[in-house]
């Protein structure tokens, strides 16, 4: 999943490392029994999966439940030399990893567990500045205040119904009509063709930029140009990325829910990071979570502590 992949790539980039990305697909029974099936991983990958072979890497950043068995396999094959970091809650014994990174809404804790406020990601001030400059001409007619609207949709926990789409579009149009707000909108594959069609039909006008899916993806530019950000509640990744900007972030509700998702949003609201979107806009401030850089610095410090010939143990960053 792209969200899981970006968590790992974001950490690698924060470490100053260009990663080798391996996207794996598991055969039966490893797919169904991951991560408990602990043998035979030489034969676990499908023909269209990226190959996993020596030389084994110094550091593994694994993300996504089906990577757990392969990460364990590499650790064993390397004789424990590969430093294995798992991003997200494995819901599996943490002894199989050198380091586990879990956001605060997940329950796993331990000596080798780092607890973050949000998910790690690829957003940095430098990337936002570059994206802002790149799309300046394209967005210059959109008035302020500008609202970036990041629309997800259907997932295992949530569903975007026609009523959800209509309500969100109606609230956004109220902002355009009454506050002369500019909208910068992007939808995802999870939005679904019917919901996206409805949203596009309702959200039109000179003050609205709704990305049509062609050309360069303006996602970073939307975050950079926005004064406010609205994110649908299905996406922990998009919420985490939005909060990295330090701008007011509103959460738009959908149907359904799940304990972990609900706890994620509840904690962030209680901590003053986000607010539910009710159709109104107001400013507030907070210190953006520094999760990704903190995690990157901790990995580098712990790896170098194990391998002192690499240069010793640098000072660790303050926890976000």
Residues 206 and 227 grouped into a single domain = yes
Q: Cα–Cα distances in Å, from 246 out to 125, 138, 243, 275?
A: 11, 23, 6, 13
Residues 176 and 156 grouped into a single domain = yes
Residues 150 and 238 grouped into a single domain = yes
Report if residue 151 sits inside a domain.
yes
How far apart CA 185 and CA 151 sit, in angstroms, is 8
Report if residue 286 sits inside a domain.
no
Residue 272 pLDDT: 97
Supply the range of the domain harboring residue 136. Answer: 125-276
Residue 315 pLDDT: 39
How far apart CA 128 and CA 220 sit, in angstroms, is 6
Report if residue 269 sits inside a domain.
yes
How far apart CA 137 and CA 225 sit, in angstroms, is 12
Asked whether residue 131 carries a pLDDT value surpassing 80, the answer given is yes
Residues 50 and 160 grouped into a single domain = no
How far apart CA 11 and CA 82 sit, in angstroms, is 17
Residues 40 and 138 grouped into a single domain = no
Residues 155 and 66 grouped into a single domain = no
pLDDT digits (tens, 9 = 90+) for 11-53: 999 999 999 999 999 999 988 888 887 778 888 899 999 999 9
Residue 316 pLDDT: 41
Report if residue 60 sits inside a domain.
yes
How far apart CA 9 and CA 87 sit, in angstroms, is 11
Grade residue 319 by pLDDT with cuts at 50, 70 and 90. Answer: very low
Residues 165 and 266 grouped into a single domain = yes
- The more confident residue out of 194 and 1 is 194
Grade residue 253 by pLDDT with cuts at 50, 70 and 90. Answer: very high
Report if residue 320 sits inside a domain.
no
Least confident of 199-203, 241-245, 302-306: 302-306
Asked whether residue 193 carries a pLDDT value surpassing 80, the answer given is yes
Q: Considering the chain, what percentage of its residues have pLDDT values greater than 70? A: 96
Least confident of 60-74, 213-227, 305-319: 305-319
This prediction has a pTM of 0.90
b/e map of 16-42 (b: 16 or more CB within 10 Å)?
ebeeeebebebeeebeeebbeeeeebe
Report if residue 317 sits inside a domain.
no
Residues 152 and 76 grouped into a single domain = no
Mean pLDDT value across residues 125-141: 96
How far apart CA 257 and CA 260 sit, in angstroms, is 9
Residues 226 and 271 grouped into a single domain = yes
Asked whether residue 141 carries a pLDDT value surpassing 70, the answer given is yes
Distance of CA 147 to the CA centre of its chain: 20
Mean pLDDT value across residues 222-228: 98
pLDDT digits (tens, 9 = 90+) for 90-119: 988 999 999 999 999 999 999 999 999 999
Mean pLDDT value across residues 283-296: 96
Residues 157 and 240 grouped into a single domain = yes
Mean pLDDT value across residues 185-196: 95
Report if residue 315 sits inside a domain.
no
Residues 243 and 165 grouped into a single domain = yes
Q: What is the CATH number of the domain that holds 213?
A: 3.40.50.2000
Report if residue 111 sits inside a domain.
yes
**What is the domain count for the chain?**
2
φ, ψ for residue 238, nearest 5 deg: -65, -35
Residues 142 and 212 grouped into a single domain = yes
Token code pair at residue 204: 């039109």
Q: Are strands 255-256 and 158-159 parallel, antiparallel or unpaired?
A: antiparallel
């Amino acid at each position: 999943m792209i969200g899981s992949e970006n968590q790992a790539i974001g950490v690698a980039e924060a470490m100053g490392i260009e990663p080798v990305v391996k996207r794996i697909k598991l055969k039966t029974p490893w797919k169904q029994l991951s991560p408990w099936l602990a043998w035979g991983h030489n034969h676990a990958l499908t023909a269209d999966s990226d190959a996993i072979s020596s030389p084994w890497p110094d550091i593994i950043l694994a993300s996504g439940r089906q990577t757990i068995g392969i990460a364990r396999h590499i650790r064993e094959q390397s004789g424990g030399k590969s430093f294995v970091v798992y991003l997200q809650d494995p819901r599996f014994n943490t002894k199989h990893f050198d380091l586990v990174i879990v956001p605060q809404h997940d329950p796993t804790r331990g000596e080798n567990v780092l607890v973050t406020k949000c998910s790690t990601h690829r957003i940095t001030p430098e990337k936002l500045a570059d994206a802002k400059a790149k799309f300046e001409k394209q967005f210059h007619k959109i008035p302020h205040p500008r609202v970036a609207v990041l629309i997800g949709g259907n997932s295992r926990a949530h569903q975007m119904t026609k009523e959800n789409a209509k309500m969100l579009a109606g609230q956004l149009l109220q902002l355009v009509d009454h506050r002369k707000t500019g909208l910068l909108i992007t939808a995802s594959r999870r939005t679904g063709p019917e919901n996206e069609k409805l949203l596009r039909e309702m959200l039109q006008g000179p003050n609205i930029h709704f990305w049509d899916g062609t050309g360069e993806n303006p996602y970073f530019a939307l975050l950079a140009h926005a004064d406010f950000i609205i994110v649908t509640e299905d996406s922990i990744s998009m919420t985490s990325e939005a909060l990295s900007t330090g701008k007011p972030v509103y959460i738009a509700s959908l149907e359904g829910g799940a304990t972990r998702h609900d706890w994620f949003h509840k904690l962030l609201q209680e901590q003053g990071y986000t607010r539910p979107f009710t159709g109104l806009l107001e400013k507030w401030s907070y210190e953006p979570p520094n999760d990704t850089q903190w995690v990157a610095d901790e990995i580098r410090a712990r790896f170098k502590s194990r391998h002192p010939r690499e240069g010793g143990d640098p000072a660790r960053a303050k926890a976000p």
